Structures are given as structure tokens and as C-alpha cells.
Chain A
Amino acid sequence: MSKILKVQHLHKTYRSGEHDLTVLNDVSFEVDSGETFAIVGPSGSGKTTLLGLCAGLDITDQGDIWLCDQHLASLDEDGRARLRNQKVGFVFQDFQLLPTLTALENVIVPLELRGIKKASEQGKELLAKVGLEDRSGHYPSQLSGGEQQRVALARAFANKPAVLFADEPTGNLDDETGAKIEKLLFELNKEQGTALVIVTHDLELAQKTDKSIRLRSGKIEESIS
């Protein structure tokens, strides 16, 4: 199996007032393609920072990240953006739908960014897949939390990404809706062979993944395969 994500000796420090705050300290792990991977840990352990770095949303201080065989440090901001557009999908805790775009428009943004012509048709199919075909013209504010997350899922899988980063995907949802989203997430992972990297507090969710790491104070406390 090829490595879709390779993280080696990662360090990240933020400036907090007068002091430097080490958020990640010598973190290394690998994710194979099609694999599901969970990053767990208490609040402030560096999970979200690690996710942001892996997805190329931020740059490392030390250490290396290879995403889909691309060394992230060698890419500029726009290069990383292009890589995200082609290979990466995102699901956020607070959905992060564009509030001024309808559900369908939100889903097709990544497709349009790639210059795909029949984006609308693909978008409708994706919405149908998450059970929202009749809500395509609705704005995010007109959808429930679960519906918004389903739109976000449809958007995340629009580009058939090699890897999907999910930041607490069920964190803002009730149990029932959360379970539905979870199911959808794993189904799409299976269908499209997309690797899943999930940041979560939910140990039950973490146990469903192929591999996981537990972070504490920026260090890997435990790796579970």
C-alpha cells in the first residue's frame, strides 16, 4: 500500500504573548491510502494544529510532511491550495459552508475550481448520495446542523479526494445525527477508497478507524494499530 500521508519529526511552536508555546513536539506517523486514521487527545493537545499542518493549511517549524507524495514545505501557499483542491477533502466541526452559497453551489465549488464543466450535475448526484437532493437550492442557514454536515460531506467527496481530513465531524451534532454522519463518512471512504484522517474526542469513533494516535501536550502518547 502506498503512503498517502507521511509525517516525520514534526515540531510546531506558537508565540503566545512573551512566551513560545510548543504545540507539537516530534510527531511522526504514516497513513496508507484508503486507510482510516484517528487523532485523539484532550483539548489543547495539538490535534487540530496537527490536522492543519497535515492538510497544508499551515507550515511546520521543523520536520517534514509528505501529502500524496508532495513535500509540503517545498510548495508555496497557492501550490498547497492546488494540492488540496486535487487531493484533499475537508469536513469541519462547524461545517464551514459558505453562507452566501446554496447547498448545491457549496458542493460544486471544488469541482469548478478544477475547471470541471458538468459540475452542477455531479453536485446534484453527490447531494442525492447524502440524501439532500431536494435541498439543493437552500442556503446553509435554511438547513439543520445534520443537513449542513451532509452538504459538507458531499463537498468533501466532490473531488474524489485521496485523503479526507475531518475535524470533530460529529462534534456539533446530536447522537443520532452524528451516527448517521459517521456512517456516511465510512461508506464514502469504502466506496471511493479515500483515506480518512479524523480528529476527534469521541473514543468510540476512534476505535472504528484502522489506526489512531493519542496526543498529549503535543507528543504522541500512544499509537494504536
Chain B
Amino acid sequence: MGERQKKGTDILWLFKMAWRDGKASYGKLLLFIFSIILGVAAVVSVHSFSGLLKENIALQSKALLGADFVIESDKPVNERVMGIMDSLGGADAKEINFLSMGAFPGNEGTKLMEVRGVDGDFPFYGGLEAEPPTAINDFRQNGALVDATTMLQFNLKVGDSIKLGAVTLPIAGGLKTVPGSNSVFGAIAPPVLIPFTYIDATGLVQTGSRIDYKYYFKADEGQDMEVLNNELDPILDDEDADIDTHVSEARRMGRRYENFGKFLNLVGFISLLLGCVGIASGMSIYIRMKLKSIAVLKCLGATKYQSYLIFFVQIACMGVIGGLLGSLTGFFIQRLFPVLLGDLLPIDVGISLSFQDVVLGLALGVTMSVLFALYPLIKTLYVSPLQTLRVVEERVPRSSWTTLAVGTGIVLFVLGFSFWLLGDFERSLYFVIGLSVVFLILTGVAKFFMGLLKRFFPYSWSFTARQGLRNLFRPQNQTLILVLSIGIGTFLISTLYFTKDMLLQKASIEDSANSANMILMDIQNGQADAVSNTITSSGLPVIDLIPIVTMRVERLKGRHVDDIQKDTTSQVSRWILNHEFRVTYRDSLINSERIIKGEWPPSKDYEGVAISVSEDFANRAKVNLGDQVTFNVQGRIMPANVVSVRAVDWSRLQPNFSVVFANGVLEKAPQFKVMTTRTGDDVSSAQLQQKLVKAFPNVSILDLNRMLTLLEDILGKISWVINFMAFFSIFVGVAVLMGAIYSSKHQRVKQGALLRTMGAKGTQILNIISIEYAILGFLGAFMGVVLAVLANFLLAWALFDMTFTPSAIPFIVIMPLIILLVFLLGVGNSLGIVRNSPLIVLRKEKE
């Protein structure tokens, strides 16, 4: 009982001592807590927002789909599918949709639009919103609901007309939202809703047109969507149809945002890690200052664990406070995400602070701060009480196994947490390795720099220069921690900048005369010459005339697709088995292609039908050089042999193909054409579009310049969020920097005051400090940018498959700004040393 009471007292006493010590050192501890708050806020905000987005998508899944489930196909459904739908009680609504040019006779405007012919009460759930609201019923008789933004763009009003193919309809209203159309695609081809009965009359359903047939259903109460999906999906697959339930739609949409969320989570996690590095280094300086006190405590009878636990409790409490405030800050930050992401989000996300978020923040705050403070904390165990009698500071030994254990603990935690965020061990491992490499390089550079300075110290330089340089490697210097925190922050921001730059560069259209910036699709065989004449008569070139034949895979290596579908062990992708391929024929390669296996064109003496497949096709179909792929070319069975595999850069804004036939095989097959041209400016582009839509209403036109602007806009929005998170790292870096400066201030103050006592002028001391921080800022920022360049070279080589030319912006804008920030913070924090007399400074410092 007595022992138990003693233990109770011990714990209380530990907290009491931690509080007493903490309140006297609150300035330093506040900066550590600030680092934890920012780091935790970064992780919690992203993690919580990703979760909420997923939750909201699941909650609003019916509204997103507009129905409980939908059966769809890219061709008119056959008897069997009809039978299935009848057995389900028949579709409650149906839709046909395709891309086509819409013309506005009132003002000669044209635009590629997603034409959606609907009947029935679609949508059954959620948002079909229009202006005026009555238009959602009015259009169903004889009218069109045109995307509201397009109406604004073309200055259209209710009652104006829209011409789709051969049909002209009055505009019943502006379409604000409709299930099944998203804002990203909607910016390329905005939706227009028309009555289903007008679809045939448009005359736009022709050979080669990509048409989707959708049948919308309301489920019976309690009907299990998963069961329905599992039952019908394989049957419908056989009939080239597909089922999407609101549950699977939510899952699919959730996945789309998941990767971006995971990436942002990692950026947030790096901020937290950076904060932890700050804690480790700050605590190291802090504990060093406490060694004498610990020796006194031991003298007074405190055991080594008691003196250790006082500071452990202090750190853990800092973690709790940091975790809680971090969760709260995270909650406020996530409110900014919908603003930053804007219409990239498919739904409105209600922001809330959940109990799990608080637990996550708390757990992260405590675990990370304790884990990273453990190494400096271990020192307290080895402090000898003899230090109270000795003036000389004893070197505190630490066993190598404790160092190893703490290091392993940190690596395992970081790996574990990354795995929890990413859900993929391999990627988590790469993340940890990558991060470790960056840490190691920055540590190596900082140490190498200090060694270099010591070895080749410029003794002949001026007093201030020598003192400034000495500060970089004297005992208790800040070189390592500042190079690490500045370096990682700069590395993150620069890497993100370079990557965004690279993505845009990759997507951009070459600015040369023979690069197309307009693609004309769905040109029927008999229209090709006339379309070509229209283009050339406008003074524009026809760059490419690409024939397109639609076909499906019939057999792979002699095996029928039906057999492969039934084979549960088959690894052939369903996309290969079900997809209707649009293939072309030519005896050459285009600039987005390169041969990785075999040859193209095939040798002249090659007998048989030769095809070249994309690397992606080969991987998914599990075919290689020499393998036979049999196609069903609109009823005619055609065996072909793979003679080459091509790497295709799909991100190029130009027509690319999975399968290319050699010349001399498909010329007589039913086909349509794609034509490309290059327009000079927006006016000539609009004029050509008007001419083409008038003469050839079935031809769809893709304006690549418009798409590129859209891509830039999307990347701009995404990079806003990424930059926002990266700036978080910089904020954490600033907190770490201030913590490091503040922690080591006593050393600097003493040195400055002593120098002043010996006659140094205030400007000399300021110069010494300026030199130190300018070099630290430069070293950290420069290494950060250099590492970012290296990382992007790797990304360009391994991921984007392109040559990386670094932009100058990180060198001329980001780097100088960060150097300036470090310089101002460092020098600003030390102004007190030169403003006051040495005596006041030393006394103040003692307090």
C-alpha cells in the first residue's frame, strides 16, 4: 500500500516537475508545440477531407448516378439484354448520348457538346437543376436544356435555338447540374439534354460514332446492389453490356480522388516529419541545457528514470497539446480545400470535425513527438550527478543499441504510417527510402560542408567573416538542423513546381507548322474530300487524314474470347475482351510512338496480316511478338499477327491507337475518318468550326488549344492545393528554424555579449550573424532545389518518359525568397544582442 502510494506520488510529482520546468521554458516549448500543431494539422486536414469526400460520395451516390443502377452499352442492346431488363421490371428511363457539334443559329456559334437524349423521369434522385426551374419539365416535350456556362459564353437566352445534326430545338433553359456529367469533361464537351424521341431525327447516330445507350432503374426497397452487380455483371459482359450500381459508381468515383488524396497525405506527412526533425534537434539543444539540472536532481535523490520521465512527460504533454490544437487547425484548413479545388469536386462536401480526427491528431502528436525526442532524451539517463561538482561538461555516452533501437523505431513508424496512408507496402517502402535518401544527402552535405570549412578555414579573412564561418561548425551549431529543414521545405516546393511544369510541358502542343491543334472526328467515308476542301479553302492545311475501322477482339492466340471470359484463372483484361477498338492502318510511326519490340512497318516480304500493338495492349492481352490476335471486323473474322510492340505516349493531345494494321488490309472495310488541321488563332478556328458544322453536322471537332487551356486550369487548381500543402512544410520549417534559433540563442547571446565586452561593435556582431544565416539559408535552399532537380530527372526518366529541362523559377524565385526568409528570421531574432548593453543581455538571458 505504502509503495503504491509512493508510486502515485511519483507520477503526480513527475507531472508537477514537468509543469514547473515547462512553464519557465514556455518560449522554447511553444515553438516545438507550434511545429507539432502545423505538422498534425497538415496530416489531419488532408486525411479528414479525403475521408469526408469519400463518405459524401457514398452518401450522394444515387444523386451522382441519378438512379439506383444503370445498364449501359456502346451499341444497341440485344434481345438477351432486353430480356434481362424486362425481368428486372423494365427500365424506368433511358438515354442515348454521344458527342456532337452543337450550333447556335442565332449567333453563328458552334461547340462540341455531349448530347444526351433522355426519356422517362430521369433522374430519379438528386440534382437536375435548371434556370428557369420549370425548364426541367418543359424541355421533355420539345426543347433542349443547354449547359448554363455555354449559354453565358455564347450569350444565349431561353427561346433561342440549338442545332444538333438535322434537328433544331428551342432552348428551354440553362442546365446547371445533371447526374452523369462532370465538370472536367463538361468543360470540353458541355452537356445538352434533349428529348429521346429527337435522337433519330438528328441523323447523328452513324458509323463510327461513339454512342452510349443507358437504361436507368429504380431498385426495389431493400434490394442489395452488390448481389445484383455480382449476378448480372458477368452475364451482361458476355453481351457487351455493363451494369453500374450507385454503390459501384461511388466506389469508382472515390478511387478517382483517392490517389490525389494519398499524394496530399504524404505531403502533409512530410510536413509532420519535418516538424519532428525540428523537435529532435530542438530537444537535443534543450536537453543539453538541462543536463546540469538533471545532475542536481540526481544529487537530491531523483533516480535516473525519474529525471528522465520528467522530460518525457513534458514532451508527451507537448504532443497532446500539439495534437489537439493540430486537429483543430486541421479542421479549419480543410474548410479551404473546397474553395481551392472549386468545381473539381464532384459534390458539395460538408466539413466536420470527427472524433477519429481528434484521435488521429492526438496519436500522431504524441507518438511523433515522443519518438523523435527519445534520442536526445536518452542522454538524461546517463547524466552523472558528479556534474554538479565539476565545471567541465562531461561527455554523455549513449549505447549504440539504444541509438539503433530509436532509429529503427522511427523508421518502422514512418513506414507503418505511410502504409496506413497509401495502403501499398511497396510504395510506402519507396517513400521511406526516398525520404531517407533526401535526409541522408542533406545530412551528408551539411556535415561535409562543416568538415570542409574546418579543414580549409580561411584564416586570412576578416574578423567578422571568420567568426560568421566559425559559427557554422562550432559546438552546438545549427548547421545540420537548418540545412535539413530548409532543404526539405525547398525540395518539396521545388519538386512540386517542376512536376507541374513537366506535366504541362508534356501535354502542350508543339508549336510547329505541322503540329495539329484541331481534330475532326466521325467523318464518314464519302465526306472526306468535301471536309478536306472546306479546310483548304479556308487557307488551312490538312495535316493528317486518319482512317478508322472499328472492331472487336475475337480470339487471342487461337482462344475464343468467350472461353477466356469463362476461365477464372485467365489474366487477360476484360477491357481487351469487351472493348470495341478503333484501329487505323499505316506503314509508319508517328511522333508519339516508338518501337520497343519487333519492327514497323513489317518487311515487304511479310506474309499474312501484320499488326503493331501498344505496350498497354500487349500487357493486358498477354500477347507478344508472333502471337496471333483475331479480330471481328464488323462481322468479318480477320486473324492478324503481332509484329511489333510500341510505346505510346497517350498524354500527347493527338490521335493515338492501341492497334495499327499494316497498309493493304483494311482499306475496303467500312470506316470513317479523323482529320487534323492547324488553325492560326481563335477567330480562324471559330470560322472553320462554323463552316464545318453547317456543312457536316455529324462531324465532331476537338479544339486542342481549348483542351490545353482546360488542362492548365485543372493543373493550376490541383497545384494550388499541392502548393498550399507544400507551403505548410515551409511554415513548419520556419517554426523549426525559429525553434532552433531560439534554443541556441543563449549560446549566441553569450558569445555576442562577450564579443561586445571585448570591444566588438554592434554592426560587427550583426555582420557575423548575417554571414552565418546567409550561408545556412543558401546551403539549405540550394540543396533543396538541386535535390528537386535530381528527383525530377528521375521522374522524367522513370515515369514521364521525357527529357526534363528544369525551369529557372525555383532558382531565381523560390531559392532567393527562402534565403531571404531564413536571413530575416535569423538576424531579426538576434537584434536584441546588439541593441542592448552586454550586461543587460546576459542578465536577461539568465532570467
Chain B positions 547-579 with a Cβ under 8 Å from a chain A Cβ: none
Stretch touching chain B among A23-31, A97-105, A125-133, A207-215? A97-105
Instruction: Given A81-B302, A115-B9, A141-B846, decide whether A101 and B20 contact each other with a Cβ distance below 8 A.
Output: yes
Kindly state whether residue B515 has any CB partner on chain A within 8 Å.
no
Please, which residue of chain B has its CB at the minimum distance from the CB of A79?
B303
Give every chain A residue within 8 A of B299 (Cβ-Cβ): 55, 57, 84, 90, 96
Give every chain B residue within 8 A of A98 (Cβ-Cβ): 21, 293, 296-297
**A155 to B296 alpha-carbon distance, docked (Å):** 12
Whether A112 lies near B20 (C-beta < 8 A) is no
Whether A90 lies near B847 (C-beta < 8 A) is no
Chain B positions 1-40 with a Cβ under 8 Å from a chain A Cβ: 5-6, 9-10, 13, 16-17, 20-21, 23-25
CB distance from A105 to the nearest CB of B (A): 5
Kindly state whether residue B143 has any CB partner on chain A within 8 Å.
no
**Neighbour of A100 across the interface among B9, B24, B385, B388, CB < 8 A:** B24
**A97 to B20 alpha-carbon distance, docked (Å):** 14
Whether A105 lies near B20 (C-beta < 8 A) is yes
**A128 to B847 alpha-carbon distance, docked (Å):** 24
Kindly state whether residue A172 has any CB partner on chain B within 8 Å.
no
**A82 to B16 alpha-carbon distance, docked (Å):** 20
Kindly state whether residue B384 has any CB partner on chain A within 8 Å.
yes
Kindly state whether residue B300 has any CB partner on chain A within 8 Å.
yes
**Neighbour of B301 across the interface among A85, A96, A100, A142, CB < 8 A:** A85
Kindly state whether residue A32 has any CB partner on chain B within 8 Å.
no
Mask: chain B, 382-411; 1 = CB below 8 Å from A; 0 = not: 001110111000000000000000000000
Kindly state whether residue B209 has any CB partner on chain A within 8 Å.
no
Give every chain A residue within 8 A of B24 (Cβ-Cβ): 99-101, 139
CB distance from A76 to the nearest CB of B (A): 10
Give every chain A residue within 8 A of B306 (Cβ-Cβ): 113
**A131 to B451 alpha-carbon distance, docked (Å):** 54
Kindly state whether residue B298 has any CB partner on chain A within 8 Å.
yes
CB distance from B200 to the nearest CB of A (A): 86
Whether A58 lies near B384 (C-beta < 8 A) is yes
Chain B positions 347-395 with a Cβ under 8 Å from a chain A Cβ: 384-386, 388-390
**A48 to B389 alpha-carbon distance, docked (Å):** 7
Kindly state whether residue A66 has any CB partner on chain B within 8 Å.
no
Please, which residue of chain B has its CB at the minimum distance from the CB of A87?
B301
Whether B21 lies near A52 (C-beta < 8 A) is no
Please, which residue of chain B has its CB at the minimum distance from the CB of A155?
B300
Please, which residue of chain B has its CB at the minimum distance from the CB of A114?
B301
Kindly state whether residue A73 has any CB partner on chain B within 8 Å.
no
Chain B positions 822-847 with a Cβ under 8 Å from a chain A Cβ: 843, 846-847
**Neighbour of A96 across the interface among B296, B303, B843, CB < 8 A:** B296
**A106 to B305 alpha-carbon distance, docked (Å):** 19
**Neighbour of A92 across the interface among B10, B298, B302, B388, CB < 8 A:** B388
Using C-beta atoms within 8 Å of the partner chain, give the interface range for chain B: 20 to 34
Whether B389 lies near A167 (C-beta < 8 A) is yes
Kindly state whether residue B745 has any CB partner on chain A within 8 Å.
no
Kindly state whether residue A78 has any CB partner on chain B within 8 Å.
yes
Using C-beta atoms within 8 Å of the partner chain, give the interface range for chain A: 35 or more
Whether B20 lies near A57 (C-beta < 8 A) is no
> Number of A-B pairs whose CB atoms are under 8 Å?
94
Give every chain B residue within 8 A of A142 (Cβ-Cβ): 847
Kindly state whether residue A7 has any CB partner on chain B within 8 Å.
no
Kindly state whether residue A86 has any CB partner on chain B within 8 Å.
yes
Whether A101 lies near B21 (C-beta < 8 A) is yes
Whether B300 lies near A85 (C-beta < 8 A) is yes
Kindly state whether residue B586 has any CB partner on chain A within 8 Å.
no
CB distance from B289 to the nearest CB of A (A): 9
Mask: chain B, 156-187; 1 = CB below 8 Å from A; 0 = not: 00000000000000000000000000000000
Give every chain B residue within 8 A of A181 (Cβ-Cβ): none
Give every chain B residue within 8 A of A105 (Cβ-Cβ): 20
**Neighbour of A139 across the interface among B296, B297, B301, B847, CB < 8 A:** B847
Whether A82 lies near B13 (C-beta < 8 A) is no
**Neighbour of A90 across the interface among B9, B300, B843, CB < 8 A:** B300
Among A99, A102, A167, max chain B CB count under 10 A is at A99
Kindly state whether residue B466 has any CB partner on chain A within 8 Å.
no
CB distance from A61 to the nearest CB of B (A): 14
Whether A100 lies near B16 (C-beta < 8 A) is no
Give every chain B residue within 8 A of A84 (Cβ-Cβ): 299-301, 385
Whether B6 lies near A113 (C-beta < 8 A) is no
**A141 to B303 alpha-carbon distance, docked (Å):** 26
Give every chain A residue within 8 A of B846 (Cβ-Cβ): 99, 141
**A15 to B738 alpha-carbon distance, docked (Å):** 40
Whether A112 lies near B16 (C-beta < 8 A) is yes
Give every chain A residue within 8 A of B16 (Cβ-Cβ): 112
Whether A115 lies near B385 (C-beta < 8 A) is no
CB distance from A69 to the nearest CB of B (A): 18
Whether B297 lies near A96 (C-beta < 8 A) is no
Instruction: Given A52-B386, A77-B304, A112-B16, decide whether A100 and B21 contact each other with a Cβ distance below 8 A.
Output: yes
Kindly state whether residue A169 has any CB partner on chain B within 8 Å.
no
Pull 21 A–B residue pairs with CB atoms less than 8 Å apart, ordered by A.
A48-B390, A57-B386, A78-B303, A78-B304, A81-B304, A81-B385, A82-B303, A84-B301, A98-B296, A98-B297, A99-B293, A100-B20, A100-B293, A101-B24, A112-B9, A112-B13, A113-B13, A113-B300, A115-B6, A141-B847, A142-B847
Question: Which 7 A/B pairs are nearest by Cβ-Cβ distance?
Answer: A85-B301, A100-B24, A115-B9, A78-B303, A57-B385, A141-B846, A100-B21
5 more A-B residue pairs beyond the given contacts A100-B21, A105-B20, with a C-beta to C-beta distance below 8 A: A57-B388, A85-B302, A99-B293, A115-B6, A155-B300
